[in-house]
Chains A and B, each alone.
Chain A
């Protein structure tokens, strides 16, 4: 089956479906953009991007032991906010270092009467997780539990 590919302002995102779940392969020029693209990709799995009347802004400041753990932590936080506050984000201004992500994220409240939910994402897994940097940019692979 052909993988779904999309491009956002932060990078390139490829969705690879497994038997029960789905993975994202993400490419971006920098680690900060990689994390922004991963956040965008998660939101894209949840719903189709829409223009919302009212935007919501949140500050984030998360830390972890290494870059892979930080990616899990970052996406888990976005999923938590979606689950509890029903907010979804498509704009990210992030500064990412090896163990910390700091920044501002903008999005909107998910309104089921106007927006269709595409995929129910339960959790962010560590299975086949990778974050790689090279002279050509950064890549990540992350599997979501559906």
Chain B
């Protein structure tokens, strides 16, 4: 497959590059990223998604693109509601995997001397690791309420503050969720996992705001240079994985009945208005709401851990939520196509919403700036906070990248980490780590990821987001 250059950071995958494409693909990347993108098979996944019924505009990929399954990581697929489809493979297994950012006014110089004690407290407070069970064991009735109310359930149950809700994408709960369309298997898997981090690339990270680029916006969001923030990355755990599994099976069975020819069975889909499409959308919303409640509970325990290390200096109100974004989700959103507003089914898989200033979906207090776009890097370099833009709204269905994007497989990372102490290397950089397993640290080492600075450069230079702040990791909890 060949890409046509359409700008310094924009590359078009023309229709006809692959059989069945209904719309072109568009990749945001710099020249140095292109060889690996061409090599890893992710362009074929863009092309496959571009062949789904009702695909509109272009299938997009952000600079953190890499090979996944179905839609590639970093991919955005928008389908018309009228004749388009909804696809669980366009969202992924970890429904509403996302990140949130808590701000503090604690200077990093005050936190660094006690970082080990703080991390020990966080590690005790937040269950992490494969199969980790939480502090909460929900009844069937409670878990259904979580799936209806999302972050609001957690706040109502004593895990957080009302103001947290205002600062979550979709206010921490998508409306019209349908827990009744969730299987017993999914409920079983979720029952003991609310308030757990999980494993792999999920984390809680204590950071220092190293640089503020946009003082006004940073101030509006409570971000002050030299102060500490906490970033939380997790999703809907086994409940979300099971929802995706269940509906892939259903949609693989019905796709042919709707005349849909699948280029990849992982892209199994059904028309947006079909019974199967509507059921998946309702179940996906329920899983997304579970994820918002999950991050909300973890936030509460993070605040408690901070308060116990800094008694008398800090209350939970002193750790406000800057924002919470989803990066594996499908939503109905209004976008302008050919000059007319149209409601679309927007799939984001490893991509973050990045709406511009003035958009109705932004918290009232944030409307003069764009949406906070939280982009974690790897645990040795930096993470960034950006603001969404009009460019993103017009050209990327209001979307930005979701992270650095993996460069190495986990196996390759393990090989490269052999005979090295990644913990010590990170310590030399001023980053402390607590993890359930040594293997996780190697798999998630900085070398396993693309250079976050280069990814952010593409996003900002192409106009998708504007820089607000850069955060450096001080300590990380991994699963």
A117 and chain B: residue at smallest CB distance = B130
- Residues of A contacting B242 with CB < 8 Å? 80
- How close is B289's CB to chain A, nearest CB, in angstroms? 19
- B199 at the A/B interface (Cβ < 8 Å)? yes
- Residues of A contacting B199 with CB < 8 Å? 120
Q: How large is the interface on A (under 10, 10 to 19, 20 to 34, 35 or more residues)?
A: 35 or more
Cβ contact within 8 Å between B68 and A20: yes
- B67 at the A/B interface (Cβ < 8 Å)? yes
Answer whether A82 and B131 are a contact pair too, CB < 8 Å, given A120-B199, A143-B69. Answer: yes
Cβ contact within 8 Å between B265 and A129: yes
CA distance A120 to B248 in the complex (A): 21
Cβ contact within 8 Å between B67 and A20: yes
A3 and chain B: residue at smallest CB distance = B411
Partner of A21, one of B68, B94, B244, B415: B68
CA distance A80 to B244 in the complex (A): 13
5 A-B pairs besides A20-B67, A120-B200 with CB distance below 8 A are A1-B412, A20-B68, A80-B185, A80-B188, A126-B268
Partner of B409, one of A22, A82, A110: A22
- Residues of B contacting A123 with CB < 8 Å? 93, 241, 244-245
- A102 at the A/B interface (Cβ < 8 Å)? no
Cβ contact within 8 Å between A69 and B249: yes
Cβ contact within 8 Å between A19 and B40: yes
Cβ contact within 8 Å between A126 and B131: no
Cβ contact within 8 Å between B409 and A20: yes
B265 and chain A: residue at smallest CB distance = A126
A selection of 6 A-B contacts at a CB cut-off of 8 Å is: A19-B407, A19-B408, A22-B411, A112-B129, A122-B200, A125-B266
- How close is A89's CB to chain B, nearest CB, in angstroms? 15
- Residues of A contacting B130 with CB < 8 Å? 117, 120
B412 and chain A: residue at smallest CB distance = A1
Answer whether A1 and B69 are a contact pair too, CB < 8 Å, given A120-B130, A120-B199. Answer: no
CA distance A125 to B268 in the complex (A): 11
- How close is A142's CB to chain B, nearest CB, in angstroms? 11
- B381 at the A/B interface (Cβ < 8 Å)? no
Cβ contact within 8 Å between A80 and B189: yes
Q: Which of B277-329 contact A (CB under 8 A)?
A: none
Cβ contact within 8 Å between B93 and A17: no
The interface of chain A, by Cβ under 8 A from chain B, is 1, 4, 15, 17-22, 64-65, 68-69, 72-73, 76, 80, 82-84, 86, 110, 112, 116-120, 122-129, 143, 145-146
10 closest residue pairs by CB, A with B = A127-B69, A17-B409, A126-B265, A17-B411, A127-B266, A120-B199, A123-B93, A125-B69, A120-B130, A126-B266
Cβ contact within 8 Å between A84 and B188: yes
User: What does the 1/0 interface line of B362-385 toward A look like (CB < 8 Å)?
Assistant: 000000000000000000000000
User: What does the 1/0 interface line of B326-361 toward A look like (CB < 8 Å)?
Assistant: 000000000000000000000000000000000000
Cβ contact within 8 Å between A119 and B69: no
Cβ contact within 8 Å between B131 and A86: yes
- B162 at the A/B interface (Cβ < 8 Å)? no
Q: Which of B37-76 contact A (CB under 8 A)?
A: 40, 66-70, 73
- Residues of B contacting A127 with CB < 8 Å? 68-70, 89, 264-266
A15 and chain B: residue at smallest CB distance = B411
- How close is B459's CB to chain A, nearest CB, in angstroms? 20
Cβ contact within 8 Å between A118 and B439: yes
- B238 at the A/B interface (Cβ < 8 Å)? yes
Answer whether A18 and B67 are a contact pair too, CB < 8 Å, given A65-B253, A119-B410. Answer: yes
- How close is A58's CB to chain B, nearest CB, in angstroms? 15
CA distance A145 to B185 in the complex (A): 18
